[in-house]
Amino acid sequence: CLAEPAEPWHADCAGPHCYGVPLYRQLLTAQENTDSATPNIKMMGQGISQRNTLTVNNGVYYVDTTVSADQQRASGTSNLSVFRDKETYYLFLLYAKPSTRQTYQIYVGDDFDPASDIQAVRAQIKTAPLTFESMPDWPWETPELNNGVLTVTLDLSAFESQFEAAKSQSC
């Protein structure tokens, strides 16, 4: 048996035994701004190490990468989703279309370099494990880093011709 890493990321995250990844919706309504708890959902998964949820177009979301293993265990869950320094993580959209525009804020720390530590990729989801192909250029607005929080806006309008070409492969 291999020892559990100090900060584990369990493959199985399909039920209440998994902590998941907190995703906070920004752009709250006036009522939500007066509530004591910030609306969030836990990103969960299917047993292939991914964490997923549905999000709305034109939304702004904060992905909470700061919850420690101890905090997750204290919640009573056994399967954890602890982000580790210097590891690679992918954020991708399954049901995208040319009008999709979403902004994600992710805590990455002050040592993160947006010029070299982030790249655009295309997910290949037909088999497990998922694979990712690098894209030659960054197709979106320049990511911003403020106080250790990376802000990335995904605007898929530049991919309209690729969406159109892919329709023939969907039948």
pLDDT tens digits, 36-80: 778 889 999 888 888 999 999 999 999 999 999 999 999 999 999
C-beta neighbour count of 150 within 10 angstroms? 20
pLDDT tens for each residue of 131-170: 999 988 888 888 999 999 999 999 999 889 988 988 887 7
Structural domain contains residue 105: yes
| Parallel, antiparallel or unpaired: strands 149-155 and 60-63 | unpaired
The range of the structural domain enclosing residue 152 comes to 21-169
Structural domain contains residue 118: yes
State mean pLDDT over 105-130: 90
The pLDDT of residue 2: 47
Residue 104 has pLDDT above 50, yes or no: yes
Structural domain contains residue 16: no
The pLDDT of residue 6: 64
Q: What angle do CA 140, 142, 148 make, to 5 degrees?
A: 125
CA distance 68 to 73: 9
CA distance 19 to 171: 37
Structural domain contains residue 62: yes
Give the mean pLDDT of the chain.
89
Structural domain contains residue 11: no
State mean pLDDT over 78-86: 92
The pLDDT of residue 39: 83
Number of domains forming the structure of the chain: 1
CA distance 154 to 141: 8
- Whether the CB-CB separation of 83 and 149 falls below 8 Å is answered with no
Residue 10 has pLDDT above 50, yes or no: yes
With CA atoms as reference, report the closest residue to 96 among 129, 65, 139.
139
Structural domain contains residue 5: no
**Single-letter amino acid, residue 11:** A
CA distance 16 to 101: 31
- pTM attached to this predicted model: 0.88
Residue 33 has pLDDT above 70, yes or no: yes
| Parallel, antiparallel or unpaired: strands 101-107 and 60-63 | parallel
Structural domain contains residue 141: yes
Q: Is 69 helix (H, G, I), strand (E, B) or coil?
A: helix
Structural domain contains residue 4: no
Residue 83 has pLDDT above 90, yes or no: yes
- Whether the CB-CB separation of 17 and 31 falls below 8 Å is answered with no
